[in-house]
Amino acid sequence: MIKPTDKTLAATLQDKIDNLNKPKGSLGRLESLALQIGLIQQSLSPHLDHPCHILFGADHGIEREGVSFSPREVTWQQMKNYGKGGGGVNMFCRQHGFKLRVVDVGVDYDFDSAEEPHIIDRKIAHGTRNFLHEAAMSEAEYQRALSVGAEQVDACHAEGCNIISFGEMGIANTSPSSVFMSLFLDLPLDRCVGAGSGLSSSGVRHKYKVLAQSIDNFKQQLRASNEVASSLNPPLAMSNYIIRYFGGFEMVAAIGGMLRAAELGMVILVDGFIMSACMLAASKLDSAVLDYAVFGHCGDESGHKLMLDSIGAEPLLSLGMRLGEGTGAICAYPILQSAVNMINEMDNFAHAEITKYF
């Protein structure tokens, strides 16, 4: 169970921020960030320690339906590439001092641990099943993916990490993300489906048709199932069922990681469309997780801005990025550093002997 951040400290934090030697509110978003991080850490002097980035990789059964521009093998090829330090995520982690953990939870490839020692092996299966026809994963696989995410966050926390971000590598994972968005926000699917890694307009139309049919099939199976109706908490059971039916192993692991990070009182930096969809899903399992979430980036994927607006999220950056891997979140990290430095290092009016003019 995640504890919502204790807001009783808010007035004292805000007073400290307002009395820094600057016009009230003049540092804008940095001020609200400092307040949020102070509430997460329950401290008037918050700090960011040992930032970690966990990248989960897995393949998707729905990819077989031609819903992605990129071929399936790119998943395992990129997972290997991260070990050579050649990925976008590697470069940004180096630049901003993040420790990178690369975790295989369901890639359709058998890695050689001697050749790829950087890949943490937590493989559940060689990709999910095709959710056009059946649930992407079993209940046991779903629980395993959640636990892998929590386990990896625990490892980071044990090293002194108090700020964490998540990334993904999984060809076709914009498809389940679009479905999450449509079902969890009750939005028309056509407002949630985009080009992913580069589909043409005809490709997007095909993707929409596949996902629309998948949702219809899901609803038929839901009516035939007693899994949700027999639950003591039908809304929670429905959320779990949707995530299990459509999600990828890498997405569910990230959801498990987000929930665990919030339980541990960590700041969670959220990346683009796919990780925002995972945070949306996590919030349906425990809404308090949003208290710990800082949304780093609004990307170019169709529907991402609508998703963020729908959950009241204010992203820090809008750089037109759509690489994934968690790169948008890592790029936003210096802004959080600035917010923390502001509240800790700026002098106040009284000590600096400056007239307070408001």
325 is catalytic: yes
Per-residue pLDDT of the chain (358 residues; tens, 9 = 90+): 899 999 999 999 999 999 998 888 899 999 999 999 999 999 999 999 999 999 999 999 999 999 998 899 999 999 999 988 989 999 999 999 999 999 999 999 999 999 999 999 999 999 999 999 999 999 999 999 999 999 999 999 999 999 999 999 999 999 999 999 999 999 999 999 987 767 888 889 999 999 999 999 999 999 888 778 788 899 999 999 999 999 999 999 999 999 999 999 999 999 999 999 999 999 999 999 999 999 999 988 778 999 999 999 999 999 988 888 899 999 999 999 999 999 999 977 676 566 666 6
**What predicted TM-score, i.e. pTM, was given to this entire model?**
0.95
DSSP single-letter state for residue 119: E
- The pLDDT of residue 349 is 63
DSSP states of 62-97 = GGGGS--SS-TTHHHHHHHHHHTT-SHHHHHHHHHT
Q: Are strands 293-295 and 119-121 parallel, antiparallel or unpaired?
A: unpaired
* Active-site residue, selected from the candidate residues 151, 250, 325, 345: 325
Asked whether 297 and 331 are in contact (CB, 8 A), the reply is: yes
Amino acid sitting at position 56? F
- Chain position carrying tokens 């976008």: 88
User: Taking Cα atoms as reference points, which of 246, 275, 281, 75 lies closest to residue 175?
Assistant: 246
Residue 247 and residue 175: Cα distance in Å, rounded?
9
pLDDT at 228: 83
User: What per-residue confidence (pLDDT) applies to 97?
Assistant: 97
Question: Packing angle between helix 201-224 and helix 234-246, nearest 10 degrees?
Answer: 130
- Give the residue extent of every domain in the chain: 52-342
Give the separation between CA 52 and CA 268, rounded to whole angstroms: 10
Considering the domain delimited by 52-342, tell me its CATH architecture: 3-Layer(aba) Sandwich (3.40)
The pLDDT of residue 201 is 87
Cα 124 from Cα 260, distance rounded (Å): 19
By the 8 A CB rule, do 319 and 297 touch?
yes
Q: What is the pLDDT of residue 323?
A: 84
